Chain A
Amino acid sequence: MEKTDVSLQEMYKSILEGYLHTGSEHALYEAQQFSRQLIKENMTPEEMVNLHVVVARELIPDLPSEVLEANDFLLEVMVGYGLAYREHQSLRDRQQQLESELAVAAQMQQELLPKRIPKSPVLDIGIKTVAADVVSGDYYHFIEDGNDHIGIAVADIIGKGVPAALSMSMIKYAIDSLPEQRLQPSALLENLNRVVEQNISSNMFITMIYGSYDLKEHKFQYSGAGHEPGFYYNHSSRQFVDLNTKGLVLGVMKKAVFKEYEQKLSPGDLIILLSDGVTECRAESGFIERSELTEIIRKYEHLSAQEIVENVYSELEQFQNFQLQDDFTLMILRREV
């Protein structure tokens, strides 16, 4: 510490001396370089003022006493700046630490998501999920029961950030711990509702849509809990129909009932499930209309399900100037044959 001070003092002395002799821009450039060095060595503002005072006194021996006193005065003022500077440094270190903890949380959250998309020759599935911040409040899940059914969940935890991420793990383990035999969507949501109601604070809510796709009969049975309605797309008529559901948001009432619906699919038909981050895309021109969203999907209809969701995301990302307002999750299922 003392040693660096001495070498910094020598360095400063020679730069200042050079400047006093030549008044050149080159010396000022050296001064700029020197200030980088100071910051690197964590020198506080009051130490720098003192360094200047000491060096100036050596270089200009006949400084008037008023100037020396004024320098001491400046030193007093700079102590406060020094404190603020050091506090700032410590807060910055803490922020870096928090950020790295958050990055670990985000990675753990990624591990809660399915490792792979179920593969089937009759059903093509595409999924795109992007967090607005580091951690996401959106969740999706697949359940393959090996019995010609694929269970599909899309959930949105109201609220973003860490609290949302924490309750996501609860949703996952609640679904995973449900009985082995295939559950009807309404029964599954009733079970989840009970878990959520008992375990999370009353100011947090979870919306969810859960559906079961029958790979043999090609029907999609679904129930919703206050979730953004999905779409059914009829390939031959090129029409979209909203998948409206009646059912309360999870966690509000102890005994909630969820109505069950069924949609039959012909080859080429799509089921589209999403979180409200997709429809709440905002730009200066306002929210995106659901009709605009379906227009984009129709445009990419000839592509694979995964390519469709990727393309929709790219367009909406552009639309919002690459500033995601809310977590984005879009899932598309297509009956192949």
Chain B
Amino acid sequence: MSQTCVEVRSEWSIVAARQAGRTIAKEVGFGSVDQARITTAISELARNIYLYAKVGEICIEKVVEANKVGVKVSASDNGPGIKDLRRVMEDGYTTSGGLGAGLPGVKRLMDEFLIDSKEGEGTKIHAVKWLR
């Protein structure tokens, strides 16, 4: 299955990214709770791009590994980057005033989470949810 990518540059594109994610999550066979989780994670990642980097991209694809299948979400931007990753990944840290959301929230919603960010260069995040 090919990758679906959505360019994020407005609040509308957040909705488009959610929609793309939900469609793939359904196809892969996720139940409604996990669909809602994956979509919420995509939403958070897209919002972060929209709020801090202004422009970026969210890509969603089905992944197959050995005997498991899942959905992989990749977010990338060339924005300001994150200065202190450790702090951003801490619970209770927030710049957008959200409770429980932010990157720690995305990490909780998904099974795998990888972040790579350089100040002044941008941020890349990969998150995977496996079908149980």
User: Which A residues lie at the B interface, using CB under 8 A?
Assistant: 2, 46-47, 50, 53, 72, 75-76, 78-80, 82-88, 90-91, 94
How far is B1's CA from A8's CA once the two chains are assembled, in angstroms? Answer: 36
B100 touches A85 (CB 8 A): yes
Instruction: Please tell me which stretch of B66-74, B75-83, B104-112, B119-127 contacts chain A, meaning at least 4 of its Cβ atoms lie within 8 angstroms of it.
Output: B104-112
Q: Give the contacting residue for B36; candidates A46, A86, A94; CB below 8 A.
A: A46
How far is B99's CA from A80's CA once the two chains are assembled, in angstroms? Answer: 8
Q: State how many angstroms separate the Cβ of A78 from the closest Cβ of chain B.
A: 8
Give the size range of B's interface with the partner. 10 to 19
Top 4 closest pairs, chain A to chain B, by CB: A84-B100, A83-B100, A87-B100, A84-B99
Contacts of A84 in B (CB 8 A): 99-100
How far is B35's CA from A53's CA once the two chains are assembled, in angstroms? Answer: 15
| A-contact 0/1 string along B82-109, CB 8 Å cutoff | 0000000001100000011100110011
B100 touches A72 (CB 8 A): no
Q: State how many angstroms separate the Cβ of A91 from the closest Cβ of chain B.
A: 5
A47 touches B33 (CB 8 A): yes
Are A80 and B101 also in contact (CB < 8 A) when A87-B91, A91-B91, A91-B92 are?
A: yes
Given A79-B36, A87-B91, A88-B100, 15 new contacts (CB under 8 A): A46-B33, A50-B31, A53-B32, A75-B32, A76-B36, A76-B39, A79-B109, A80-B100, A83-B40, A83-B105, A86-B108, A87-B100, A87-B104, A87-B108, A91-B91
Contacts of B31 in A (CB 8 A): 50
Please, which residue of chain B has its CB at the minimum distance from the CB of A2?
B132
Is B37 part of the contact surface with A, judged by Cβ < 8 Å?
A: yes
B100 touches A75 (CB 8 A): no
A79 touches B40 (CB 8 A): yes
B99 touches A87 (CB 8 A): yes
| A-contact 0/1 string along B34-60, CB 8 Å cutoff | 001101100000000000000000000
Please, which residue of chain A has its CB at the minimum distance from the CB of B38?
A79
Q: State how many angstroms separate the Cβ of B20 from the closest Cβ of chain A.
A: 16
How far is B33's CA from A65's CA once the two chains are assembled, in angstroms? Answer: 18
14 A-B pairs with CB atoms under 8 Å apart are A50-B31, A53-B32, A72-B32, A75-B32, A76-B36, A79-B33, A80-B100, A83-B99, A84-B99, A86-B108, A87-B91, A87-B92, A87-B100, A91-B91
Q: Give the contacting residue for A75; candidates B33, B101, B104; CB below 8 A.
A: B33
How far is B32's CA from A101's CA once the two chains are assembled, in angstroms? Answer: 42
B91 touches A75 (CB 8 A): no
Q: State how many angstroms separate the Cβ of A64 from the closest Cβ of chain B.
A: 17
How far is B90's CA from A91's CA once the two chains are assembled, in angstroms? Answer: 10
Please, which residue of chain B has its CB at the minimum distance from the CB of A49?
B33
How far is B109's CA from A76's CA once the two chains are assembled, in angstroms? Answer: 13
A50 touches B32 (CB 8 A): yes
How far is B90's CA from A87's CA once the two chains are assembled, in angstroms? Answer: 10
Contacts of A85 in B (CB 8 A): 100
Q: Give the contacting residue for A94; candidates B32, B33, B91; CB below 8 A.
A: B91
Contacts of A86 in B (CB 8 A): 100, 108
How far is B36's CA from A82's CA once the two chains are assembled, in angstroms? Answer: 11
